Structure 1
Amino acid sequence: MSGTIEDFLALLAAERGAAANTLAAYRRDLTAAEELLGDLSQADGEALSSLGKAWAHLAPSSVSRKSSALRQFYGFLAEEGIRSDDPSPALPRPAARRPLPKILSHDQVDALFLRVEEEAASSKPVSVRLLALLELLYGSGLRATELVSLPLSAVPRDAPFLTVTGKGDQARMVPVSERAVQALSRWLEVREGEGRFLFPSRGKHISRVRLFQMLKELAVRANIPPEKVSPHVLRHAFATHLLEGGADLRVLQTLLGHADISTTQIYTHVDAARLVTLVNERHPLANASLARRPKGD
């Protein structure tokens, strides 16, 4: 990998506070492009346009992500005076529609909780831990990385809030339901292992991959297709179900830790009939009759 890519990644980390996962994704995309084109700092527009053919088998969203990484890279080269031109307009620009997030129905969420609560009744540490994890995923909308890396000190004591470090090392406060507080208390009673993490494993914390596996296995036991369940799907369910309940979009943005509200707006894919019902029932004029208009109007 060329030194210019390393310099670009260093800038993302130092000045933009990019998270480790974000840096890893940029590194993969830029390294893969360099394997196709050679030194990216020397590539011209014709070379970049050839990537469209090389990426033809990829989903539009993947092409958009790769192109975005390269556009930012060439912007960096121009700002640093390494290049006097910007060849990035030649990159593929697929007209990708952002897919609606997968969500679980209320019945499916209930089935997951019913199953995990039955298992946690045994007080086995693995079952109680899974209950606590599920409560925080669905009850607080945490990202997988945010959840598995929670420090032990994050457990609420006086106030029902968690301090979570999200993308870009941005901290935010998220509420914790009474159910989740009870689940966490049960987990702390049977928690095994030492260290600073709330969910320890092998001297560190459980991995995102292991969290993903545990949820898939729970879905099977709850008679739900495992492909429908993941940490991010539960985060989507948290957001969608809150919105259905009347939550404000700005509040939802804060809870989810979105830097841009346009990211939160994806959750406005709620049922149109529900929106009509909401207007008819909640609007100030919903129960007011139209004033009689004067004759001749």
Structure 2
Amino acid sequence: MAQPIDTFLAMLAAERGAAPNTLAAYRRDLESADALLGDLAAADRDQLASLAGKWAALAPSTVARKSSALRQFFGFLVDEGLRKDDPSPALPRPMARRPLPKILSHAQVEALFERAELEAGAGTPEGLRNLALLELLYGSGLRATELVSLPLSAVPRDAPFLTVTGKGSQQRMVPVSRRAQAAIARWMEVRSADSPFLFPSRSRSGSGHISRIRLYQLVKELAARAGIDPARISPHVLRHAFATHLLEGGADLRVLQTLLGHADIATTQIYTHVDSARLVALVNERHPLAGKARGG
């Protein structure tokens, strides 16, 4: 069974530019289904329909993701002539609602930065690194993987932008605030000089960068020291806060899509729920008929 899955994943990597994390997720879903059914590539409609019972304890969003992976896999098999029929219509189709992002208040963000700036004021490498990480998470909205893997070559010299490689190896330009530039400059003065990455790891080789897991831990630990419930904060929550607070400040949704690196604006629209009050006020104040009283 490994060969069809490997061939499918190779196609995703070559033709769609799927990122390593995406490929790993597809592999987990396909191999787990293969373990349940015996031979996924040869499974019939009845076998696929039986997955609804086997996945009954899973969240609807998880079932939707697994079904999507299998549908793409069987579509690939048919396209490549490895199967004549496509049994994937028998897969369960749960009505999975996209979860709303966690909300981080302005006060919580301020408390987090106050603590980070206090610790950076001591001049320790750890404090200066954590402040630079925080500035880029909240100030530029980077994904965790994008942030930890930033090469030194991405650091701006004259222009206030970072060159970021996002999902699907797509590059985009991300603005860097003056605050973030200052934090990066302070960090550059104390960071290891022999690493090609902006945020090097402490491994023996010294050639790698800090991991996403370590970034997650650093953010949680900083939140605890700032008196904030660590369960409320993660690198991704800070990315959500970046998007939410920009939208509150009047940012255009298309601009936000570009900044976040979303391929589909439907992904960006999840943030509009947090700003419904501002949108209603905007219609009431700016619509051409807003100032006209209704006729008697």
| TM bin (shorter chain) | over 0.9
**CA–CA distance in structure 2, aligned partners of residues 283 and 111 of structure 1:** 38
Alignment pair present for 1:254 and 2:258: yes
Give matches, 1:243-282, under 5 Å: 243-282=247-286
Q: 1:138 to 1:284 in 2, by over 3 A?
A: farther
1:96 aligned partner: 96
Q: Secondary structure at the match of 1:86?
A: coil
Q: 1:241 aligns with which of 232, 245, 266?
A: 245
1:65 aligned partner: 65
**CA–CA distance in structure 1, aligned partners of residues 238 and 103 of structure 2:** 7
**CA–CA distance in structure 1, aligned partners of residues 11 and 115 of structure 2:** 46
Q: Secondary structure at the match of 1:200?
A: coil
Contact 1:103 1:234 in 2 (8 A): no
User: Shift of the alpha carbon at 1:277?
Assistant: 2.1
Cα deviations by residue, 1:91-127 (Å, 9 ceiling, x for unpaired) = 1111111110112111110110001000100010011
**CA–CA distance in structure 2, aligned partners of residues 33 and 165 of structure 1:** 31
Give matches, 1:99-178, under 5 Å: 99-178=99-178
Q: Secondary structure at the match of 1:172?
A: strand
2:29 aligned partner: 29
1:79 aligned partner: 79
User: Shift of the alpha carbon at 1:38?
Assistant: 1.4
Runs of 4+ in 1 over 6 A off after TM superposition: none
Q: May I ask how many residue pairs the two structures share in their alignment?
A: 292
2:235 aligned partner: 231
Q: Counterpart of 1:108 in structure 2: which amino acid?
A: Q
User: Shift of the alpha carbon at 1:40?
Assistant: 1.1
Q: Which runs of 5+ in 1 are unaligned?
A: none
User: Shift of the alpha carbon at 1:275?
Assistant: 2.0
**CA–CA distance in structure 2, aligned partners of residues 148 and 231 of structure 1:** 11
What is the RMSD computed on CA atoms of the aligned residues?
1.5
Q: Secondary structure at the match of 2:162?
A: strand
1:213 aligned partner: 217
Q: Counterpart of 1:196 in structure 2: which amino acid?
A: P
TM-score by length of 2: 0.95
**CA–CA distance in structure 2, aligned partners of residues 215 and 184 of structure 1:** 17
Contact 1:194 1:200 in 2 (8 A): no
**CA–CA distance in structure 2, aligned partners of residues 169 and 244 of structure 1:** 30
Cα deviations by residue, 1:227-256 (Å, 9 ceiling, x for unpaired) = 111111001110111111111110000000
Q: 1:222 aligns with which of 226, 239, 248?
A: 226
TM-score by length of 1: 0.95
**CA–CA distance in structure 1, aligned partners of residues 280 and 230 of structure 2:** 33
Q: Give the share of equivalent positions with the same residue, in percent.
A: 74
